[in-house]
Each structure stands twice: as C-alpha cells, then as structure tokens.
Chain A
Amino acid sequence: MPADNRGHFNAMNEGSMMNRRTMTHLRQLEAESIFIMREVVAEFERPVMLYSVGKDSSVMVRLAQKAFHPQKLPFPLLHVDTGYKFKEMYEFRDNFVKEIGADLIVHKHADAGRVSPYEYGTQKCCAILKTQALLQALRNGNYDAAFGGARREEEKSRAKERVYSFRDEFGQWDPKNQRPELWSLYNARVNRNESIRVFPLSNWTELDVWQYIYMENIPVVPMYFARERDVIVRDGQIIPLDGPIPLRKGEKPERMLCRFRTLGCYPCTGAVCSPARSVADIIEEMMTIRVSERSTRVIDHDAEGSMETKKKEGYF
C-alpha cells in the first residue's frame, strides 16, 4: 500500500484553487461523479454498486463515501466473483470492505469451478461467469440501478455510452436506441423489470484515476505495483502463475519484475514488464509508455468489436 504521499504541493494547490473560485479538473470530475451518485440514490428504489476490487472500484467507493458523508453507503457493494481472481484481490477486498464498513454481496455463478477458459474459450467463459452471473445477481437482488466503474476512454465502443445506460428486462444494451443525455439532467424513468447501469466515472481517464488515487491516498490492490513474479509469456502476454495454469508444450516459467495495469481473472490477465513500485512511479510511467490499458486483457482482442458484442449481451 502506498505511503501517505500528499506533499505540500497539494495543500498549496487546494488553497490557491479556493481563492480563484475555479476548480481543477479532478475536483470537477469528482463533483460530477458525486452528483450522479446522489441522483441515482434519490431516484431509484434499489441501487447497488458493482465492486470489482480494481483501482476504478476503489475510486468509485471513495467518491460514494464523499457523496453520502456522514451517512454510511446507502447501497451494498456487489462483487461478481468468477472464482478465478487473484489471491491478493480476495484479501484486499475483505480487508477494504471491513475497514470502511460497507455491506458486500459476493455472487458466483452455479457453474463457477466447472467452466474454464481452457475448455470453453475466453469468450464463452466470460459470458457465463461474468455476464450471466451479473444478470443473475442483479435479478436476485431486484436491483434497478447498478453503478459500474467503466470509463468512456477505456475502449472505443464505450465512447458513446451514456452515464445512465438503459437496459431492457434481459439486461441488454441497444447502442442505436440510447436516450439523449443533456446537461446533467438524467432521465431516471424505467418500467418494472427494467434497469439502468450507471457510470459515474464516465469522464475520467486512466491518468485521472491514478492522479486521484495519489492525491486522495486511496488504497489499491498491491498487484498494481511492481515486484518479481513467476510468469510465462504466451502469445505476447505476460501471464502470472498465480493459480493452476496448465502449461503448453515448450512453455517455461520465468521470474520477471512486473505489475498489473488492470485486474481480471488470472488465466486471462496479463502483466506488464515494469519497475513502478508506487503510485507516483505509475503516473511517471504512464507519461512515457504508449500502450492502452485494456490491451492486457486477452478477451478484448478476440474479435474486432468484441467489447461491443459483449455489452449488447449485458456485460458491463
């Protein structure tokens, strides 16, 4: 976990910001996200926050704490667990939730443990353990609004996503029939059995997220920071040997100084070769490397436009 890295620079900025009565981009993004969360809680019956344990979730939870302070979070956190997450993620999740006093719901698909990407392929595995499981969990909880940490910048098809993303009773998204979203007047009207996904971080970039983590000293899973790990290199991806991963012929584990840019399931999440050991290191590295965030997710590359296909089916 990063040490307190709020230098005197931050204090100075906040001071000068107050005098000029203008807000920095991060404070504007923060204010927008808080506004969105409050709107949803005021206008929906049963909101829930998707919690994926990653950095975006960490930021989203902090924003929720700010939005409802001094009240406790007015909705539970929901983790859709594929069973393939890294050990460090489970540990972090349980500590984090306890520390902030949030209610956590963990949902696993009935077939978790039986379905694996090795037999079914990444697309199908994901469709069952993530998309279907998510829809089940939302149905079980009767949730009419689910917060997700997705950002428009992450992937091309997300650039057109609304902040309130309307889903039919099957949880499906229709990119050609989205409601116009003007100003900050979000239309919260849905019929019974319909729901919305809400993306309060829509306008944040990966750099904004890290910058905010740095500024606010927000805890994140230590997997984001570099250390020596046992890995194999497969199809250009660095796959960590965190779980029982069947080795292909000719593959040999090696030790490498690496870290994770995004956290997913261990069979499908690649690491990046990096010496960045702190949030500041990561920001510095981001300014120099030029590979987009989701490129370390094996599944997105399977077919042109694959994220869009998944989303139409109900994936976040």
Chain B
Amino acid sequence: MQQHSKSMEEFLAMNEKKDLLRFSTAGSIDDGKSTLIGRLLHDSKSVYEDQISSVRKASREKESDEQIDFALLTDGLKAEREQMITIDVAYRYFSTPRRKFIIADTPGHEQYTRNMATGASTANLAVVLVDAKGGIKPQTKRHAFISSLLGVPHIVLAVNKMDLVGYDQSVFEAIKSEFSYFAGRLGVQDVRFIPISALKGDNVVTRSARMPWYTGETLLELLETVYIGSDFNLVDMRFPVQYVLRPNQQFRGYAGQVASGIIRKGDEVLVLPSMKTSRVKSIVGFDGELEEAFPPMSTAVTLEDEIDVSRGDMLVHRHNQPKTHRRFEAMMVWMSESPLDHGKSYFFKHTTKVARFRFDEVRYRVDVNTLNRMPGGTMGLNEIGRVVCTSTTPIFCDPYSRNRATGSFVVIDPISNNTVGAGMIIEREPSDELPNRIETVVSEKDGLHLRRSLVAPSDRAARWGQKPVTVWFTGLVGAGKTRIAYGVERRLFEKGAVCLVLDGENMRLGLSRELGFTAEGRAEHLRRVAETARLANEAGMIVLCAFVSPEAALRAQVAEIVGGDRFLECHVSAPIEWCEARDESGLYSKARSGEISHFAGVNFPYEAPVDPDVVLRTVSTDSEECVSLVLDLLRDRGFFPCAG
C-alpha cells in the first residue's frame, strides 16, 4: 500500500465521522420537486457524468432545449417516464463533507398518501414544496399534515419558483404567514421557510444574489446543520428481542436493535411479558464487548440468569416500563383498495412481534385538506382516521409521539398478505388509570351541591362581548410563556376584554405556597390552578395560564376540570439550548448541578402536547407576533371577536 498524503487520511477520517440525515420531499405535481432534487444532486456533485448524458439523450426526444431536465435524473421507472408522473417512493443519496443524506422522494399525487406516509416514517426532516405563483394548495397542507402525523420533527417549507414572481419578498411573506398559522394547528415543533428557485439554483446550494432580503440559510446549509441529536429517545430503554443466538449450550445471546434508551452492562432488566428480572452480563458483538448500547445500534446481550426469553419479548428497566395493552387507540393511514373491515381479523407487526388483532371502532376520519373530523364507520384507500383496536396478545408500547419504534405498527391482510395500514399509537386512557392523579377531595356525593347562579352564561357573554375560555401556555422554563400570557392580557384589555393571568409565580406565592415539588405537590398545585381558572371562567373571564406543566396526563386532567370545550392548549416551543442560554434566573444551572429536581428538560421529561391548538415558536416568531396568533385563535374559535 502506498503512502497517502496527510490530507487524504484526514479526509477519510472526516468522512467516517459524518452523520446521517434522512429527509422526505413532497410537493404537488407542478411544484418542481424533481427539479429541486435534481438540482441538489447536481450542485452537490452527486450525479455522475454518464447519468447526465443519458438524461440529455432522454430529454432531447421531448424538447429541443439543451438545458438539462433535472427531473429526468430522478424519475426512475419507464412507466412513470411515459406518464410523466412519479408514482412511487424513490430513495436518493448524496453526501457533503458534513453529512450523508437519504432522500425519500414521495409523489404528490392525491391517491398516493400512502407513499408520502412511507417516506415520512423514517425521516428526520420533511421538505414541503410550494409554488410561489400558485401559493399554498390543499396538497401543501396535506403534505404538512402527513409529515406531522408521522412524527417528522423538522419541516422546511421551500417556496419554489421565486424567479416567476420576480423574487418578490411580499409573495414569500404571505405564504410564510399562511403556512405558519396552519403549522401551528398541527403542532409541528420546528418549521423553517426558504425562498428558492430550483430551476435557477437560487438558495438551493448557493446563496441567491437576487433575494438580498433573505438572510437565512440556503436549503443545503439547513440540511447540513439542522440539529438532529435529540431525535433519538435516549431516556426510555426498550430492547425488543429479534433473534436468539445459541452457538452452543454455554452461550445464549439476545440479538436486537436498541429501540430507545441506553442499556448498560450490569443493568437490572425486566423481561416482558414474563416479568422475570435479571442483570445484563455482557453486550457482545463481532468487534468485542461494549459497556453500553444506544439507538439505533444492532447488538446482542447476555443475561446473568438462565431465563426464558424469545423473539417478540422486550427487555426494559423496571422503573421505566412501556404500557402493556391488549386494547389501544391509534391514528391509522389506510393503504389498501379494500376498505377496513371490522369483522375481519388482521395481522399486525409491532416491534418484533406479529399477532392477530381486530378493529373495534373507527372513531373518526380526518379530512386531510381541512383537518376537519368526519364520522368514522370504515376507512378507504389513503384515508386517515383514529381507530380502537384489540389484539389477541398484549403489546408493549409507548405513544408514537414519544417513541417512534415502540409506537408504530403495520397492518397485514391475512389473505392477500399485503401491508394495508400503518398505525401510530396514541396515549389515551380513562383518567382513573393515569399514574399522576389530581385527587378530587370533595365531590358532590359528599353532600355539597353547587348552587346555580342567577346570571346565565349568555348574559355575561352579552355584557362583556366575550366567551369565557382558559388558554393554557405550556413549555420549558425560559421559552417565553409568561411574557406571551401578559402580552395577550394587555392586548385583550386594550380591546375591551376582561381577563386574568395565572402563572407559577402568583400561584406559588399565594394559593399554593405550602406545596412542594413532589409528584403530589405538583398535582395539587395544578388542581388549584384549574379550579381557579374554572371559577374565573364561570364568572365570564378569559383566563391565561402560564405553567411549565410538563406532564401530559396532568394537563389532560386540568382540561377536564376547566371543561374541554373552553380549554385551549398552547405550546410555547423553543429548543432547550435556547431557553437555557437566555435563562437569567439561574434555574437551569441549579437543575444541572442537581440542586433542583423535577426540572423539565433537565432531570424530568417534558412531554410536548401531541395535538395542541397552537404552537408558538418563540425562536423564530417575536412575542408580538405570538400574541397576535393567540388573538387570532380566540377569534377563530369564537371566544373573542377582535383579530390580533
């Protein structure tokens, strides 16, 4: 082997250190998606010369233009080349010195919702394309909805064909604001906007001189730098056993891929469903033993004790177990020509387990263009709905929003063997089974009866020109909840509304002053907040509550106390790094040093709302704009008439 220059060795070393970003692309037929991908591949120099010349050959038959038709680089199958449409998910690859990229290129055609779901299922990020000239179409919203349904953490709206609108900033801003509102309703955590022209190359790989008003990143810069380190769940250890390795009588290894969390040598583990416990003796592989394994590693573990473990079982930590359910609810994408059949027994595959199950009920279907709910019944091809299922054996699952690996399943038709549905498990249980419970000390059956007020709600609404509602701002410390809540109060007051702000400070200093931060203390604190809000609502006021409230289960119970029809959940969302950086209270450093416990995001999990009424992204949206979004929400839901 010959000597290589230092730079070559450095290059190889750097190349081995690259990480991986999987993203999906979706767009309507004329949004220029294939052109965009062709442009990314071409400008990042991932397209080889002979592929370009074969495309030149193919485009010549179609048109005389010598310009390369980038779309032909990506449209693979003969059939679709003839029909001029992309008909199936296609995977493309390219890399830059920083990252390797896998693109799931999904067709935008109406009947191919299933392909879009397929592409989104493994994506860290979704690029949704919109034609600047045509503006946001129903399909754009559908793409964003499916991406959010499949739990894609980052969405980029690429406003394409800016060249056709004269690179006009106002066109971009109008599309941005319309989409922001919609994305807020979807509860997507991270949305970015980039004005581009795929055809001319503006802001795709290189910065455009024709849009000096845009100072953000190019699409490729964004793809290279978007932070994906927290996309894997490192908290809840789940190790589904895939295969038992038995080379001889002495060795029994359980092979599998770590679905989430960290498994360490010496850990006490619980085997589901047998509930037997043992310790991890070793984590073994071809390259030697490991001290620990984390997702998405494929590895094998041996246990101290000889206990019976087989494929389909799951190793977990005793203090952090998944739910064990035979009956569960899920969002379902139906992917078969034959509609969902209630009488039929289907197979499902969940982690490494295959079992029989049936559908008990379709609670509702979702109109993917308007997000409106439609009556259930059954589901047809490319429909999305919420279902209740019962399985013949218990499954060990987490909500999909928390754990993609243990929250997802596919449905298989027992006759055709086709994959006919994709399910995402939702956490929903009767509130008396919830682990963190708000205890109701006094209830009507103890002899206390609520007297009816002589003032009717409609009288109060007529007097004050508003309907009572509780807006619940949840989010990390430092995300900006309280600032926004008081901003909304000020704006509402100016427009003549009557309102009240409840926040951690004014409650903890008074009404809840004796309560601590234990699980019971937090539950009781929120119960008092909820009851206060309810009383103020009954007096006709609009109540703005700003509380970290990291536990989804407790928020659900607060909503129950206040009354679900007058409760709006508002997620004030910002990355923890950002919150921590602007924290002046010193709470984060105290939490980091362990001085404070139960601190959301540091030593206590923050469970983001699955389906909030609005998401306020304080990193990219200034607080005045956030306030306006809340006022718009109040107007749209009929609580207060003035727009923000």
Give chain A's interface residues, CB within 8 Å of chain B: 2-3, 5, 7, 9-10, 12-13, 16-17, 20-32, 34-35, 38-39, 41-43, 65-72, 152-153, 156-160, 175-176, 178-191, 202-203, 205, 207-208, 211, 214-215, 277-278, 280-281, 283-284, 287, 290-292, 295, 304-305, 308
Contact = CB atoms under 8 A, between A and B. Distances in A.
A56 to B, nearest CB: 15
A160 B76 contact: yes
A31 B91 contact: no
B78 A278 contact: no
A182 B243 contact: no
Contact of B422 (A24, A180, A208): A180
Most buried by B among A187, A190, A191: A187
Contact of A159 (B1, B78, B90): B90
Given A3-B1, A31-B296, A284-B8, A21 B234 contact: yes
A183 B121 contact: yes
B77 A157 contact: yes
B405 to A, nearest CB: 7
Interface in B86-119: 87-93, 95, 99-100, 102, 105, 114-115, 117-118
B236 to A, nearest CB: 14
Contact of A215 (B16, B253, B286): B16
Given A25-B20, A203-B93, A291-B49, A278 B2 contact: yes
B418 interface: yes
A27 B16 CA distance: 9
Interface stretch (B359-367, B406-414, B551-559, B609-617): B406-414
B2 A187 contact: no
B48 interface: yes
B410 A182 contact: yes
Given A70-B247, A205-B93, A214-B12, A181 B2 contact: no
Contact of A178 (B45, B88, B245): B88
Given A24-B17, A42-B352, A182-B408, A191 B48 contact: no
Given A10-B16, A35-B298, A153-B93, 18 more contacts: A25-B19, A27-B297, A34-B298, A35-B242, A70-B253, A160-B88, A160-B91, A183-B121, A185-B408, A185-B410, A187-B410, A189-B412, A191-B417, A202-B91, A214-B12, A281-B2, A290-B48, A292-B50
Give the dominant DSSP class at A's interface.
helix
B223 to A, nearest CB: 14
A25 B118 contact: no
A185 B424 CA distance: 13
B262 interface: yes
Contacts of A178: 88
B62 interface: no
Contacts of A290: 45, 48-49
B417 A304 contact: no
14 contacts: A7-B12, A25-B20, A32-B298, A35-B296, A42-B243, A179-B419, A181-B419, A182-B118, A182-B422, A187-B410, A187-B419, A189-B412, A304-B78, A308-B78
B44 interface: no
**Shortest 9 CB-CB contacts between residues of A and residues of B:** A9-B13, A292-B48, A34-B298, A25-B20, A156-B76, A25-B100, A66-B286, A182-B121, A159-B90
B335 interface: yes
A191 B415 CA distance: 9
A247 to B, nearest CB: 26
Contacts of A283: 12, 15
Nearest to A62: B286
Nearest to B8: A284
A49 B251 CA distance: 25
A42 B242 contact: yes
Contacts of A27: 297
Contact of A160 (B77, B114, B335): B77
Contacts of B335: 180
B16 A24 contact: yes
Contacts of B300: 69
A10 B13 contact: yes
A65 B286 contact: yes
Contacts of A32: 296, 298
A71 B49 contact: no
Contacts of B95: 25, 205, 207
B79 A175 contact: yes
B284 A70 contact: yes
A253 to B, nearest CB: 26
B404 interface: yes
Most buried by A among B50, B81, B247, B251: B50
A295 B50 CA distance: 7
B445 interface: no
Contacts of B246: 71
A257 B352 CA distance: 51
A284 B1 CA distance: 14
Given A191-B417, A211-B16, A180 B115 contact: yes
A13 B245 contact: no
Nearest to B251: A70
Given A7-B9, A180-B114, A22 B410 contact: no
Nearest to A203: B102
A43 B95 CA distance: 34
Given A180-B422, A291-B50, A295-B50, A208 B1 contact: no
Interface in B229-285: 229, 232, 234, 242-243, 245-247, 251, 253, 255-257, 262, 284-285
A160 B19 contact: no
Contacts of A185: 349-350, 408-410
B51 interface: yes
A205 B1 CA distance: 24
B58 interface: yes
Contact of A187 (B297, B350, B412): B412
Contacts of A21: 234, 262, 294
A69 B242 contact: no
Contacts of A189: 347, 412, 417
Contacts of A152: 91, 93
B12 A180 contact: no
B582 interface: no
Contacts of B118: 180-182
Given A180-B335, A185-B409, A41 B114 contact: no
Given A35-B257, A66-B286, A69-B286, A308 B77 contact: yes
B1 A187 contact: no
B76 A26 contact: no
A33 B10 CA distance: 27
A34 B245 CA distance: 14
A91 to B, nearest CB: 21
Interface in B182-209: none
Contacts of B90: 159-160
Contact of A31 (B76, B253, B297): B297
A183 to B, nearest CB: 5
Contacts of A66: 285-287
A240 B10 CA distance: 35
B207 to A, nearest CB: 25
A35 to B, nearest CB: 5
A54 B254 CA distance: 31
B18 interface: yes
B4 interface: yes
B311 interface: yes
B321 interface: no
A295 B102 CA distance: 23
